[in-house]
Amino acid sequence: MNQQKNSCTILTDIELEEIEKEKHCYENQQAALIGTLKILQKKRGWIEDNIIFAVAKILKIPVSEVEGVSTFYSQIFRKPVGKHIIRYCDSIVCFITGYKNVEFEIINQLKITPGQTTADNRFTLLHICCLGNCDKGPTIMIDDDIYNYVDSHDVKRILELYS
């Protein structure tokens, strides 16, 4: 058993292998941080505190740096999330094109507010400052699927796609 595995027994052999591959893509191990967090989140759903410590040890960087990066990026989750992540754009452009009506309908349908997860763990609702579709707003994104020109009448139909 290698020394790295002994120090990070909370990670699986498969996770460690994937992290090693990620590290080899960069001259500096620190540059592999976001990719490493994404690998672990994909397998586990979110990044727990013990994962922060393990990643710091593997990449030989301070725990505070791993924590800082993991809390800065909106695509990294530091608490459990639902099976499907709903992101809706609340930029000024989407505001002008009517995102408030879409937001109201999502909240009404799911009975949660931004940052919350439904009781059945089906959906987590997050507002994002921009989804990069300013010419097609309002925009929502569920998992990797993007919906443009959404209005409140579309919300129920879209949510039903994710049962």
pLDDT band at 8 (very low <50, low <70, confident <90, very high): low
Name the amino acid, one letter, at 105.
E
- Residue 5, pLDDT > 70, answer no
Output the CATH code of domain 84-160. Answer: 3.40.30.10
Q: What is the pLDDT of residue 2?
A: 38
**Residue 130 among known ligand-binding residues:** yes
The helix (run of H) or strand (run of E) holding residue 98 is none
**52-96, pLDDT tens digit by residue?**
999 999 999 999 999 999 988 888 999 999 999 999 888 888 889
**Residue 25 among known ligand-binding residues:** no
**93-136, pLDDT tens digit by residue?**
888 998 999 999 999 999 999 999 999 999 999 988 888 888 99
- Residue 19, pLDDT > 80, answer yes
CB 39 within 8 Å of CB 18: yes
pLDDT band at 6 (very low <50, low <70, confident <90, very high): very low
**Residue 94 among known ligand-binding residues:** yes
> What burial class does residue 83 get, using C-beta atoms within 10 Å of its C-beta: 0-12 exposed, 13-18 middle, 19+ buried?
middle
Residue 4 CA to residue 1 CA, distance in Å, equals: 8
Name the amino acid, one letter, at 123.
F
Q: Count Cα neighbours of 80 within 13 Å in the Cβ-side half-sphere.
A: 8
**Residue 129 among known ligand-binding residues:** no
Give the burial string for 90-122 (b: 16+ CB within 10 Å, else e): bbebbeebebeebbebbeebbebebeebbeeee
Domain with CATH 3.40.30.10 in the chain: 84-160
